Amino acid sequence: MAEEDENQEAVTEKKGGGMMKIILIVNAVILVIGIAVGITVFMMSGDDSEKTAEQQDTEVIEGAEDDAGGDTASSGGTPIYVPLHPAFVVNFENQEQVSFLQVDIQVMTFDPAVEEALKVHMPVVRNELLLLLGGKQYHEINNREGKRRLSQEAIQEIQRVLKESGSPSSVEALYFTSFVMQ
């Protein structure tokens, strides 16, 4: 009789041990799935915040350009980007030493006539932009707000050149595609 009790206890222990293993495996699988979902949600939410910051920068620059005479509300067309090549390279003073600025610029408009006018009057546009860039001080353009002000001033210069030549001047935006100060 004592032998039967010992055998039943051993069988009960084996059954309980098998059930415990199953519970541990199920918990481990649930934990791994939870971690994978958490990592996926974290990675997906990081992209949205970066995109939002870029969209805010673009909105601020374009919103300020509307004040400069652009007519984005009535445009409704496909934007036309006109690169001003080659890159602009100017030197300017930076606290008693000469520094260099290299800038690649693209102008956006919705009017194909403005694109043609920019191509026709490119020497005058480049000259005025070189004078504008060369007249800046390092401390004026070494931060984000300074670059935005410079962008607005450049738009105004381009619009002035196009108006003086009798061409359409609806420049909507100006983008620095490269901005190197040394």
**Is there a contact between 5 and 12 (Cβ–Cβ < 8 Å)?**
no
For 36, residues 6+ apart whose C-beta sits below 8 A from its C-beta are: none
pLDDT 10s per residue in the chain (182 long)? Answer: 555 555 565 555 555 678 889 999 999 999 889 888 888 877 777 554 444 444 444 444 444 444 444 444 445 689 999 999 899 999 877 777 778 899 999 999 999 999 999 999 999 999 999 999 988 888 888 899 999 999 999 999 999 999 999 998 899 999 999 999 88
pTM of this prediction exceeds 0.85: no
Topology given in CATH for the domain delimited by 80-181? Tetrahydropterin Synthase; Chain A (3.30.479)
What does residue 93 show for φ and ψ, rounded to 5 degrees?
Answer: -80, 140
